[in-house]
Amino acid sequence: MKKTNLLIMSAAMTLAACNGGNQQNGQTSEDLIGRTTELNIVNKRMTPEALWAMGRIGGMTVSQDGSKVAYTVSYYSVPQNKSNTEVFVMNPDGSGNQQITHTPKGESNLVWTKDGKLRFLSSESGSSQIWEMNADGTGRKQLTDYDGDIEGFSLSPDETKVLFVSQVKTVASTADKYPDLPKASGRIITDLMYKHWDEWVTTAPHPFVADLNGNGLQNITDLLEGEPYESPMKPFGGMEQLAWSPDGKQIAYTCRKKTGLEYAVSTNSDIYIYDLTTKQTTNICPEIMGYDTNPQYSPDGKYIAWQSMEHDGYESDQNRLFIMNLQTGEKRFVSKAFESNVDEFIWNDSSDGFYFTGVWHGQTHIYNIDLKNNDQLTKLTEGDYDYGTLALCGDKLLTKRHSMMMGDEIYQLDKMAGAVVKQLTFENKAIYDQLEMGKVEGRWVKTTDNKDMLVWVIYPPQFDPNKKYPTLLFCEGGPQSPVSQFWSYRWNFQMMAANDYIIVAPNRRGLPGFGNEWNEAISGDYMGQCMKDYLTAIDEIAKEPYVDADRLGCVGASFGGFSVYWLAGNHDKRFKAFIAHDGIFNIDMQYLETEEKWFVNWDLGGPYWDKQNKIAQKTYAGSPHLFVDKWDTPILCIHGERDYRITANQAMAAFDAAIMRGVPAELLIYPDENHWVLKPQNGILWQRTFFEWLDKWLK
């Protein structure tokens, strides 16, 4: 414990020193947040400060002539408790890499023009607007002065028009109803979806199209004029949910044309095509009942592709790749050979196939679909990695890749099976060179129903098999999010390993990448086979001589937090410490508290008052709060008060229950965080509290 504190203090002082007093372009580092140039890490062990010093690579885009690649990197300042995003440009082979911006307001949404300039979003003028600069960062100028923030944009193929997203007011305020009470803070609510993710809903994002010339935006048209719907869809939709046709005459957009209760219980979004000439809108997939998102026209304009889920109300349904012939209207499910989710996809240059990423057996790889050859599927990449973000670049593909050993960097590969993958960026090399990472090992174990389950085991750096280590069971969230080769800046396995813990991370029932049956097994059965899978995983690894079976901990967030609360009353004294972040403690209350009712209807089986619903009644009978009488193990509860997916009173109730039961407990509550922890100082506080708690009870 003392050693950990010394590491933290050393890194914190070094980081503070290297972020203070530097000057660039006339601005002090307190104004300009950039790459940390000095960070001395003790004993090659990962620290929270080292994690937050890492630059995080964001979006990337290839110039239209294929000669340049632009990408963004976000940097975080712990003292300032905020971030900044800068732009880099390099050649397609990674050479000539240079940072072309040094501004405190940040840049995003990079778009190349035909003449080799970059357009982007910046809030330098006070609101988020479209700007332009040369490929070396010179000639920077503002192009729009729209009355409101522009949240995303793309250019028409001929670059005479711009498609952009901005918020429109959709909910009347109290002051609208009572103008004489302008300072009244009360909200009058008449229907559901009055809050979503981390905000009270008063506006909706709308797509607009306008002429863009030297005089700013002209002839602005709201594609959803007078409609209270959102496109892109909240809370995470962006410009990937809208697309220009190659001839610039149509715009495809994603929309769930529902409000209130109807919106809250349905995932039935559709793809709509807006004709700029006739101003008519057509729904191209009304017969598909689940999520339809992310349209892309083929380069030849003959087809449109999108991601599609089959069932209404099931947000973790298989994400399938569909195409439609725009002349005949014929639709086809082209990713049938891949019994998992299509995560990201792009057309190839000849409009006869796709490249996409998808998870299988705990790894996310790049695949090719050949439409000419009966939708034949070919896997292009191998290894313990997760790939994401694809871009065509001549005869190569560009992609981002991360693993449990390293965060995102940009890579280049050939468009063929067994392709050689070349790393192009080395954003955090200076930090990685100072770190020793723990070994990551995939192991297959037999479950209680005799199925094979993949379990990732992460070992401490300088692992000694002759020693005994405290060991953590990691419970994944989602609930249907893969335990693949992810790199997290909060739930970071290398951070846990650096604190001399072995981590056991099972791909338990209810995760994608092992077939639809495995993925769907959790719906309506939260306390069933998936919990048995957790216990199987920790029991199996605990047989190893280097695992101290008397010092086992259990940690997790979201569904993982729920898992911790449930296991706290059903673990038969296996564990000596628990940590639950943003977990469900009382399922009855969760049904009414969460904003997205489709989720609880599908996953829990329905409302608790439906006494004839056997699935629902089984779910509520297993709620963690009903097993508090069996709690006997120290527990740390963490939650954000701006989390409207699982509200903070769940953690408060769990903490209160533990204290009233005489169980050692601690509560870390964030008034300003949502389902995640996004602010740098809050993130470091999270890490320190996390390991102080584990060290107290397991070391």
Catalytic sites, residue numbers: 558, 643, 675
Question: What is the C-alpha separation between 598 and 28, in angstroms, rounded?
Answer: 49
Backbone angles phi and psi of 271, in degrees to 5: -100, 125
Residue 12 structure tokens: 């914190």
Tokens 């007078």 belong to which residue? 226
Q: What is the DSSP string of 93-115?
A: TSTT-EE----SS-EEEEEE-TT
Question: What is the C-alpha separation between 77 and 19, in angstroms, rounded?
Answer: 8
Which residues, including other chains, have CB under 8 Å from residue 315's CB and lie 6 or more apart? Answer: 267, 291, 309, 596, 598, 599, 602
Question: What is the C-alpha separation between 502 and 497, in angstroms, rounded?
Answer: 6
Question: What is the C-alpha separation between 499 and 466, in angstroms, rounded?
Answer: 18
Question: What is the C-alpha separation between 203 and 447, in angstroms, rounded?
Answer: 47
- Count Cβ neighbours within 10 Å for each residue of 354-364 and write b for 16 or more, e otherwise: bbbbbbbebbb
Residue 564: alpha-carbon gap to chain centroid: 22
Question: What is the C-alpha separation between 680 and 78, in angstroms, rounded?
Answer: 5
Tokens 């740390």 belong to which residue? 636
Question: What is the C-alpha separation between 156 and 446, in angstroms, rounded?
Answer: 54
Q: 3-class SS at 351?
A: coil
Which has the closest alpha carbon to 307: 273, 286, 282, 333? 333
Question: What is the C-alpha separation between 199 and 424, in angstroms, rounded?
Answer: 38
Contact 606, 313 (CB under 8 A): no
Q: 3-class SS at 176?
A: helix
Question: What is the C-alpha separation between 53 and 39, in angstroms, rounded?
Answer: 8
Question: What is the C-alpha separation between 130 and 145, in angstroms, rounded?
Answer: 8
Neighbours of 274 (CB within 10 A): 22
Residue 206 structure tokens: 């709308």
498 membership: H or E segment, kind and range? helix 493-498
**From start to end of 348-404, where are the E strands?**
353-360, 363-370, 376-379, 386-393, 396-402
Question: What is the C-alpha separation between 49 and 687, in angstroms, rounded?
Answer: 10
Which residues, including other chains, have CB under 8 Å from residue 104's CB and lie 6 or more apart? Answer: 27, 31, 32, 33, 84
Contact 459, 438 (CB under 8 A): yes
